[in-house]
Amino acid sequence: RMDQALLLVSNELPAPGLNLAARSGSCHQCLYQFLAFVPPSNESLRKPGTASVMVDTQHPLTLLLNSSVGDRDICKIQYHFGEFGNYSLVVKTLSTNTQTVSCDLIINEGPINSYLPILFAFLVYMGILGILIAGRLLMKIDPVRNWVYKKLNPRATDRMINSELGSPNTADSINCDPAPQSWSTGSRQRLRSLDTFRGLSLVIMVFVNYGGGKYWFFKHESWNGLTVADLVFPWFVFIMGTSIALALGSMLRWGSSKWKVLRKILWRSVVLILLGIIVVNPNYCLGPLSWDNLRIPGVLQRLGFTYLVVAALELLFTRPDSGTWEGRFPALQDILPYWPQWIFILVLETIWLCLTFLLPVPDCPRGYLGPGGIGDFGKYPNCTGGAAGYIDRLLLGEKHMYQHPSSGVIYQSTMPYDPEGILGTINSIVMAFLGLQAGKITLFYKDQPKQIMSRFIIWGIVMGIISAILTKCSKEEGFIPINKNLWSISYVTTMSCFAFILLLLIYYLVDVKKWWSGAPFLYPGMNSILVYIGHQVFANYFPFKWKMQDSQSHAEHLTQNLTATTLWVIISYILYKRRIFWKI
C-alpha cells in the first residue's frame, strides 16, 4: 500500500523464536509496537522461520528483535524504508562457538521515488508561469499588440489592457461598503500584498485539506513540530488581524459610528460561527447533523470568535485619525497609545499559561503537554493535550469534539481532541493581535515603505528570539514546544515570525517595487470566505474529486488535489473579473 514496504524476516536461530517490534522516528519517547512473531528455524529441515510484515516508509523506523522467552534483545536496526520496496532481514549466528548473532538487512527489490510527481508538478506549473510571463512581454511589442487588437473584440481588449492584473477597485474594500465619490484618492489605495498573503495561505490550505497528494509533510504534524499544513491557518488568522486594523480605521474615517461598526463586527462573527457549525461541520460524515454528535469547535468558529475579540478590542481604542503621535517616544507610536490592548493580551496569555501548567487534570501530571497514547512510554494514555483536552471534554463533551486528531496515527491516542478547542483560542487571539500590529504599522507609516519594512523585520526578529528561547531551538526538548494542536505560545511566536518576514517580502515585491501583481494568489485572497466554504462543501463532487484508477498512487492523488486547487483559483479569477466578491 501507499507509504508502505514489505519486510520479510528470516530467522535461522533455534527455538524459542523472536518478537519483532518497531518504533517510528517521529514518535517521541514511544513504546515499541509489536509487529510479528518470527518462528525459530527448523533444524531437521534446515529451514529458517519466516514472517512478513508491512512497515511504514514515511519516517525512519527503529526495529527491535528480542527473544520471545526472557525478553532478551537480539538486535536493533535503524532504517528508513522506501515506498513499495521489498526487504529481507536475515537473523543468523556468525559462529557456533561464540553464538554471535548478526542481523543483515537486504534489499530484494528497490523502492520507487515517490517524490518524482512533486518535481513533475513543479515543472508543469513553472512552464505555465513561463508561458504567461512570455505572453505579457510579447504584449509590450507594438506589432504583436496591434495584431491582438485586431483579433479580439475591441471592448474585451480594452478591458484586458486597461485593467492591472490583481488591482481591485475601491468598491471592493474588505468589510466596507462601496466608496462614495467624496473620498480622497489616498483613502482608496488598497494594499495588494495583504490579499496576496491571504490568498497564498488559502491556496495552501485548500491543497492540504484536499489531501496534499497524501504526502506526510502536507498533513498536520502528529504532535510537536511543523509541516506545511501547520503554517497556513495561523497565517490566515494573522492577516485577518492586519485587515481589522485597516478596515476599522477606514470605516471610522468615513464617518461610521462605533456602534454601527460594533453591530457589523457582531454580525460577521455570528455568521462565521454559524457557517462553521452548520455548513462545513466535519461530523456530516457520520450522517445527518444531530446535536448528539455536533462538533462545536472548528476553523470558522475560531475565526469568528477571534475576529470578535480582536476587532472589538481595536474598536474600543482606535482613533479615526492615525496621524503622527505627539507623545514621547515617537518611534513607538504604533504601540504606546494602545497600552490597554497590550495589557489585555498579556492577561489573556497569563490565563493560558496558568490553565495549561497549573490546572489539575485527573490522572495526568500537572502541566502535561504530550499526546497521550503510546507517547511518554505509555504512562499517560488518556491525557492527550493535557489541560486543553480536559477543558474541552469537560465543557463541550467528547461527542462534540474532533474525533480523529492527528496524534491518533503515530501516537495511537484514543481520546477525542480538538485542535480548534477552547484553550487554544486564547493564543489565536494573540496571533490575530500580532497581525493587528502589522496593520497599525502600515497605517502609522503610510507612504513610508522603508519604515514599514524595517518594523516588519524587527518584529520578525523579536518573535524569532522568543520562539528560540521557548523551544531551546529543539522540536521536543523546549520549555514550550511548537505545537499546532495546542496552539502553544511558541507556535504563535514562530508563525508570527514567519508571517512578518513573508508579509515583508510580498509587500516589497507587490506594493513597493510592483514587480509582481500578486496573481494568482490575489484572486482567492479577495474571495477567501467563498473559496474556503466552497472547497469544503464541494470537496467530494466532480471535477474536484473523481474515482481513481490507482488509489495507492501519490501521483494520482497529487494530480487530483492540484487540479481541485487550481480550479478554485480559476473560479476566484473569474469572480474577480466579474467583480463578484462575497463579503459577510
Q: How far apart are CA 16 and CA 41, in angstroms?
A: 9
User: Is 220 one of the annotated active-site residues of the chain?
Assistant: yes
**Which of 109, 131, 160 is the last residue in one of the domains?**
109
What are the cell numbers at 40? 525459530
Q: Based on the domain organization, do 254 and 361 belong to the same domain?
A: yes
Position 442 in a domain: yes
The pLDDT of residue 58 is 92
Total number of domains in the chain: 2
Q: How far apart are CA 107 and CA 131, in angstroms?
A: 43
Q: Based on the domain organization, do 199 and 104 belong to the same domain?
A: no
Q: Based on the domain organization, do 100 and 228 belong to the same domain?
A: no
Q: Kindly list the distances between the CA atom of residue 289 and the CA atoms of 171, 279, 295, in Å, as whole numbers in the listed order.
A: 38, 10, 9
> With pLDDT > 90 as the criterion, what percentage of the chain qualifies?
64
Q: Based on the domain organization, do 297 and 437 belong to the same domain?
A: yes
Q: How far apart are CA 175 and CA 195, in angstroms?
A: 13
Average pLDDT over residues 485-513: 96
Position 156 in a domain: no
Q: Based on the domain organization, do 98 and 199 belong to the same domain?
A: no
Any idea which of 167-181, 442-456, 508-522 has the lowest mean pLDDT? 167-181
**Which of 109, 131, 154 is the last residue in one of the domains?**
109
Q: Based on the domain organization, do 89 and 223 belong to the same domain?
A: no
Query: Whose CA is closest to 503, among 286, 209, 307, 245?
Result: 245
Position 176 in a domain: no
> With pLDDT > 70 as the criterion, what percentage of the chain qualifies?
89
Whole-number average pLDDT of the chain:
87
Between the two ends of the chain, the Cα-to-Cα distance in Å is 44
Q: Are 220 and 230 in contact (CB under 8 A)?
A: yes
Q: Based on the domain organization, do 196 and 105 belong to the same domain?
A: no
Q: How far apart are CA 410 and CA 403, in angstroms?
A: 15
Q: What is the pLDDT of residues 33-92, one digit of tens each?
A: 999 999 988 777 778 889 999 999 999 999 999 887 877 888 899 999 999 999 999 988
Position 154 in a domain: no
Average pLDDT over residues 485-503: 96
Higher-pLDDT residue of 506 and 581 is 506
Position 373 in a domain: yes
Position 135 in a domain: no
The pLDDT of residue 80 is 94
Q: Based on the domain organization, do 516 and 394 belong to the same domain?
A: yes
Strands (E), 40-144: 49-56, 61-67, 73-79, 86-95, 100-109
Position 527 in a domain: yes
Q: What is the pLDDT of residues 133-173, one digit of tens each?
A: 888 888 888 887 787 777 766 554 444 444 433 334 333 33
Q: Based on the domain organization, do 258 and 404 belong to the same domain?
A: yes
Q: Based on the domain organization, do 374 and 471 belong to the same domain?
A: yes
Q: What is the pLDDT of residues 386-419, one digit of tens each?
A: 999 999 999 999 988 988 899 998 999 999 999 9
Q: What is the pLDDT of residues 216-251, one digit of tens each?
A: 999 999 999 999 999 999 999 999 999 999 888 888
The pLDDT of residue 41 is 85
Domain span at residue 339 reads 192-284+291-318+335-578
The pLDDT of residue 153 is 60
Block residue for cell numbers 512533486: 118
The pLDDT of residue 173 is 37
Position 186 in a domain: no
Q: What confidence category does residue 177 fall into, taking pLDDT thresholds of 50, 70 and 90?
A: very low
Q: Based on the domain organization, do 105 and 201 belong to the same domain?
A: no
Phi-psi region of 578 (alpha: psi -120 to 50; beta: other; left: phi over 0): alpha
Q: Based on the domain organization, do 213 and 351 belong to the same domain?
A: yes
**Is the backbone peptide bond immediately before 16 cis, with ω within 30 degrees of 0?**
yes
Does pLDDT of 112 surpass 60?
yes
Catalytic option among 28, 59, 80, 220: 220
Q: What is the CATH classification number for the domain harbouring 22?
A: 2.60.40
**Which of 74, 91, 109 is the last residue in one of the domains?**
109
365-381: string of b/e by CB count within 10 Å (b at 16+)? eeebbbbbbbbbeeebb
Q: How far apart are CA 484 and CA 486, in angstroms?
A: 5
Q: What is the pLDDT of residues 312-367, one digit of tens each?
A: 999 988 765 555 555 666 667 778 888 899 999 999 999 999 999 999 999 999 99
Average pLDDT over residues 532-540: 91
